[in-house]
Structure 1
Amino acid sequence: MKPFTFLYFILSAVLYLVALPLLVYLSFKQKYRESIPSRFFLFNNPRFKSDNGVWFHVCSLGEARALKPILELLKDQDIKITTITHTGHAEARRYDAEVRYLPYEMFVPFWARGQKILIVLEAEFWFMLFTVMRAKGTRIILLNARISEKSAKKYLQFAWFYKKLLSNVEIIYAQSEADKNRFLALGAKNIEVIGNIKLAGKIEKTKEYKKPEVELIVAGSTHDGEEESVLKSFIEYRKQSDAKLAVVPRHPERFEAVFELMKKYADKNSLTLSRFSQNKEFKADMVLVDAMGELNNIYAISDIVILGGAFREDVGGHNPLEPAYFGCKIITGKHFFHQKELFKYVHHVQYVESDEIHKALMRCKELPPSMVEEKINLEPVINRILKN
């Protein structure tokens, strides 16, 4: 082990010991009950069964979903997937692959097995993972690679570190020219711009639900603080339009809290409220969608989508391709820095502050549905992965 790598390993071990009480505490919370024991204590998280496979590492739900068109082109390969989050892990388990949580960096040298290739998506830059896998003879590719404008200055402050990390990478497939330039500034080499691989994903519904006779507004992938703004705007909008509202929180552990918030607004304004999990219908004035994997099915019968994650400064927005595919009129916030590349391909989107949602709803009657223009060619990526 090289001196810097050894020092990094020691530092990661020290940080682990310092954080141990917090990790134990968080392990009992619903959101982390599976991921933290697996990642930080290797509980139910064994090593992969074999070497010489094709290993994909993704962070969360969106990246796991983005793998689908690629995995369909690699059906004969021994596929392995690691994730960070519970939702990403659940999505990855839907594929014909060995699925694990990526352990904390201190464990990687002992846990990871050498593979034919490691494909890391987006901005998952783990020093021990890259260094250890390269030492084991594994080729490393960065796919859908990005560095947001917001994060670029922080990366540049540690350019020497990222240059060392990225020197292990065979090729970087960047989302945009702007991302390519940011990687070049960090000292990376061999970068190609191919666009966002989420454009290659097949967007489809899995179930058919009855569309309400009135306008259906869906607040999709919402985060804490965003639901209140949506509810206030919806109450105002109801004064001019007989619409219904469905709220789909991004994280399932927030279902109960969001239901209580919706109940407060329903009671105050004499509106009916229901849970989607109980009847799979949209008869009530407001519906909490307390189920996973239903967003596309609901977009398919929706008129307007208020896309969450961009009304707060710390989330970075969510994928607009799905509601645009179904022709929904999209309203979202102005803080979509993690999805900036995808929004370039979606037309007729309203970008507003949280206190402007009502005005945006009123303008929807005059605007055309959203639409997507662009495709991506995955052939160069597949050829690179299969290269001996």
Structure 2
Amino acid sequence: MEKFFFFLYSLFSFLFYILALPFLVLLSFKTKYKESLPSRFFLWHNKPFKPDGIWFHSCSFGEAKAIKPLVDRLPKAQLRMSTTTQTGLQVIESYTSQSRYLPFEPWLFGWLKPQKALVVMEAEFWYLLFALAQKRGAKTLLINARMSDRSFPKYQKIGWFYRHIFKHIDEVYAQTEVDRARLESLGARNVSVTGNIKLSYLPAVTRKIEKPSGLVVCGASTHEGEEGVILEAFAALKKEQKDAVLLLVPRHPERFDKVAQMAETFALQHAFTAQRYSQNAVLRSDIVLIDVLGELVNMYAVSDIVILGGAFEPIGGHNAAEAAQFGCKIISGKHYFNQKDIFEAIEGIAIVEAGNLSKRLLQYGVLKPTRIKSKSDLTPILESLERVL
């Protein structure tokens, strides 16, 4: 049965790839995909890894940063890193020159070389990735695994499919006991609970920034539809706190120009000053657009209040621990379903509806500084990997 499924899935992936080719060619001209898409779907400048290493796969910028405590404990010569996003690649390239975009599944038949282990972050359930890696000798691990309240019913509907995937995953390391139970119901074996890896390592300040004298508000990791809400809330605050400063940090770099235009227009309408940090790396305007990657933790270090994006729209939220390590007061929207366990590990986060953000920000005096209550244990994962070295 498993061989038959492997054949059918492989055939389907090849057919899907052929049918999608015209769309892939068109999408490859978009700025967001101009590097990742040709590499993933056409193997453009995407050579196979050297064999016999420890291969980590992470999807996004945040996940790529989160695995740093693991990769720092392993021999650099053994590291193989892959990702699916441009921002993710920028992170993993700092770990090793053996960093690549993960090819789309049909390409893996010729691209994938035997490795000692494959370590996949969170919810990257690529059937052929696990199946081929295992067939070619790799020990396969799924780490930081989670099943949110929102996504679990969807996984259950096609549980038969995930049971085939979990047949090729040797060990699973879940974030919580709830995640363990849900994963096991989908066929996961050898499941251990290690907590959230994103709490085991928090990025440190890379350089000291001069803090403005007034109240500093950071609109962090914002998405489409969130900057406008934050700007309006800041304008209300500014009426009471004349020296308040807003640091606006969009999540995705391809939106920097659009958000810059929005901020500049808003500033003109309210007689505020505005600047782009990439053009003047100081915090001397009412509104400062942080349009440089890798600066968010430095902004957290000088912020009094963090309005954490990704949760005022149904995105799923972002890692609040990075700001909580500095004791910042944090305000979040209600759509933090992908970060539920992290939020539960942090004391003091204020959850509000988008429409009530202005009112809550004006009450900043009663907000509590946040505190991280618990962290995670990477020891079982490291011990498992050390056994194959």
TM-score of the two chains, using structure 2 as the length reference: 0.97
Match of 2:30 in 1: 29
Letter of the 1:126 counterpart: W
SS of residue matched to 1:147: coil
SS of residue matched to 1:277: coil
* Counterpart-to-counterpart distance in 2, 1:226 and 1:371: 25
Residues 149 and 77 (structure 1 numbering): CA distance in 2 closer, same or farther, change over 3 Å? farther
Residue 3 of structure 1 and its aligned partner are, at CA, apart by 2.1
SS of residue matched to 1:279: coil
Letter of the 2:48 counterpart: R
Alignment of 1:5-84 (within 5 A): 5-48=6-49, 50-75=50-75, 78-84=78-84
Residue 94 of structure 1 and its aligned partner are, at CA, apart by 0.9
Residue 76 of structure 1 and its aligned partner are, at CA, apart by 5.5
Query: 2:362 matched to 1:362?
Result: yes
Task: Assess if the C-alpha contact under 8 Å between 1:54 and 1:77 holds in 2.
Answer: no
SS of residue matched to 1:178: helix
SS of residue matched to 1:120: strand
* Counterpart-to-counterpart distance in 2, 1:324 and 1:62: 16
Task: Assess if the C-alpha contact under 8 Å between 2:118 and 2:140 holds in 1.
Answer: yes
Residue 279 of structure 1 and its aligned partner are, at CA, apart by 1.4
* Counterpart-to-counterpart distance in 1, 2:167 and 2:15: 26
After TM superposition, the structure 1 stretch with the greater mean CA deviation from structure 2, 205-214 or 68-77, is: 68-77
Match of 1:230 in 2: 230
SS of residue matched to 1:44: coil
Query: 2:307 matched to 1:306?
Result: yes
Residue 194 of structure 1 and its aligned partner are, at CA, apart by 0.8
Residue 203 of structure 1 and its aligned partner are, at CA, apart by 2.9
Query: 2:216 matched to 1:216?
Result: yes
Letter of the 2:203 counterpart: I
Query: 2:197 matched to 1:205?
Result: no
Match of 1:336 in 2: 336
SS of residue matched to 1:238: helix
Letter of the 1:287 counterpart: V
Query: 2:113 matched to 1:103?
Result: no
After TM superposition, the structure 1 stretch with the greater mean CA deviation from structure 2, 216-225 or 19-28, is: 19-28
Match of 2:146 in 1: 146
Alignment of 1:252-331 (within 5 A): 252-313=253-314, 315-331=315-331
* Counterpart-to-counterpart distance in 2, 1:194 and 1:284: 43
Residue deviations 1:25-71 (CA, integer Å, cap 9, x gap): 111111111000000000011101x2111000100111110111111
Residue deviations 1:121-164 (CA, integer Å, cap 9, x gap): 10000001111111112110111011111111111111111111
* Counterpart-to-counterpart distance in 2, 1:202 and 1:379: 17
SS of residue matched to 1:217: strand
Residue deviations 1:187-226 (CA, integer Å, cap 9, x gap): 2221111100111104310011110010010101000110
Residues 284 and 76 (structure 1 numbering): CA distance in 2 closer, same or farther, change over 3 Å? closer
* Counterpart-to-counterpart distance in 2, 1:77 and 1:199: 26
Residue 376 of structure 1 and its aligned partner are, at CA, apart by 2.1
Residue 92 of structure 1 and its aligned partner are, at CA, apart by 0.5
* Counterpart-to-counterpart distance in 1, 2:279 and 2:326: 25
Letter of the 1:316 counterpart: G
Residue 77 of structure 1 and its aligned partner are, at CA, apart by 5.2
Alignment of 1:158-169 (within 5 A): 158-169=158-169
Residue 97 of structure 1 and its aligned partner are, at CA, apart by 4.7
* Counterpart-to-counterpart distance in 1, 2:221 and 2:68: 20
Task: Assess if the C-alpha contact under 8 Å between 2:218 and 2:246 holds in 1.
Answer: yes
Residue 371 of structure 1 and its aligned partner are, at CA, apart by 1.2
Query: 2:173 matched to 1:179?
Result: no
* Counterpart-to-counterpart distance in 2, 1:369 and 1:103: 43
* Counterpart-to-counterpart distance in 1, 2:70 and 2:269: 49
Task: Assess if the C-alpha contact under 8 Å between 1:78 and 1:97 holds in 2.
Answer: no
Match of 1:188 in 2: 188
* Counterpart-to-counterpart distance in 1, 2:15 and 2:221: 36
* Counterpart-to-counterpart distance in 2, 1:96 and 1:47: 14
* Counterpart-to-counterpart distance in 1, 2:352 and 2:76: 46
* Counterpart-to-counterpart distance in 1, 2:97 and 2:382: 17
Letter of the 2:327 counterpart: G
Runs of 4+ in 1 over 3 A off after TM superposition: none
Residue deviations 1:311-352 (CA, integer Å, cap 9, x gap): 111x21000011101111101111111111111111110111
Query: Share of identical aligned residues, percent?
Result: 44
* Counterpart-to-counterpart distance in 2, 1:160 and 1:330: 40
* Counterpart-to-counterpart distance in 1, 2:347 and 2:127: 38
Task: Assess if the C-alpha contact under 8 Å between 1:327 and 1:369 holds in 2.
Answer: yes
Alignment RMSD (CA, Å):
1.2
Residue deviations 1:206-247 (CA, integer Å, cap 9, x gap): 011110010010101000110011111111111111211110
Letter of the 1:183 counterpart: L
